[in-house]
Structure 1
Amino acid sequence: MNAVECWFCSTPIRGGRFLRFDMYRNAQYTPLLVAVHARWEQAWVNIPRCERCGFGHGVERVTRWILAGSAVVTVLPTLLMTGSYLGGEPWADSWQIVYPWIWTLAWLGLWLGIRQHRIPWRRLAPRPERHARAHPGVRALAEEGWKPGGPFGPG
């Protein structure tokens, strides 16, 4: 593989497009009165990525966040409705809870279709963004004890 080829689809890249893959190691946490102070070493690997794969990864990421928000908006009224039934005063229009469930299930289907490459749209990336973990630069740093992401969240 050439340095000017996209890591995700092997097409030539024009310009300096890349995915910045952050990594960290040697995280030290110091508890304070109301917070935690952290120090760590940080490094990153610039992984070549074409415009198409960048767009496709963005579509997957946005769909995932909308699905997560939709799930929260669906679960809250469902819990309230369940509580009203258990309390003995059911909602008069409880059938309307179907609409947020249909919305959430539609976003789930769209997200799964994008993630599993079942949607035949040519603008989507052939490999998911997590394929960056297999990049030789990332694997070399991982062998030295580096971890993906940051010390407060997954990579």
Structure 2
Amino acid sequence: MNPVECWFCSGPIRGGDYLRFDMYRNAQYTPLLVAVHVRSERAWVNIPRCARCWFGHGVERVTRWVFLGSALVTGLPTVLMAGSYLGGDPWADSWQIVFPWIWTLAWLGLWLGVRQHRLPWRFLAPRPERHAREHPAVAALAEEGWKPGGPLG
């Protein structure tokens, strides 16, 4: 792989287009009264990424978060409606719960289509952002005991 080629699609990149992939090791957790203090060694790898893959990864991230938010917002009225039925006093317009469910399922379908590359959109990245874990520099650090992400997430 040429350093000026995108790791995700092998297309050309501009000068500073990179995905910063964070890694850590030797995490030490110190419990405090209401939180946890964490010390760790941190490193990162700059993985070359073109503008198309940057945009495609952003689309995948946004659809995932909108779907999760929609699922949370849909879950609350569903639980309340189920409670009203169990309590013996059902909602008069309980059929309206269908609309949030349709909205949530539509976002689920969109997110899965983007993530599994089932949509023929040219601006989506051919490989997901998690493909960065297979980069040679990341693999070399992983062999030395480094872990992807941060020590708390």
**TM-score normalized with structure 2 length:** 0.99
Displaced runs of 4+ in structure 1, greater than 3 A?
Answer: none
Give the letter for the 2:117 counterpart.
H
- Which runs of structure 2 are paired with 1:1-155 in the superposition (5 Å)? 1-153=1-153
What is the CA RMSD across the aligned residues, in angstroms? 0.5
Aligned length: 153
CA drift of 1:31 comes to 1.1
Give the letter for the 2:32 counterpart.
L
Paired with 2:125 and 2:111, the residues of 1 have a C-alpha distance of 13
Cα shift readout 1:108-142 (whole Å, capped 9, x = no counterpart): 00001101111101000000000000000100000
CA drift of 1:12 comes to 1.1
Percent identity of equivalent pairs:
84
Structure 2: gaps of 5 or more residues: none
CA drift of 1:37 comes to 1.1
Q: SS state of the match for residue 52, structure 2?
A: helix
CA drift of 1:87 comes to 0.6
Paired with 2:47 and 2:28, the residues of 1 have a C-alpha distance of 28
Give the letter for the 1:121 counterpart.
W
Give the letter for the 2:8 counterpart.
F
Structure 1: gaps of 5 or more residues: none
Cα shift readout 1:57-99 (whole Å, capped 9, x = no counterpart): 0000000000000000111100000001101110000000000
Give the letter for the 2:23 counterpart.
M
Give the letter for the 2:5 counterpart.
E
Q: SS state of the match for residue 91, structure 1?
A: coil
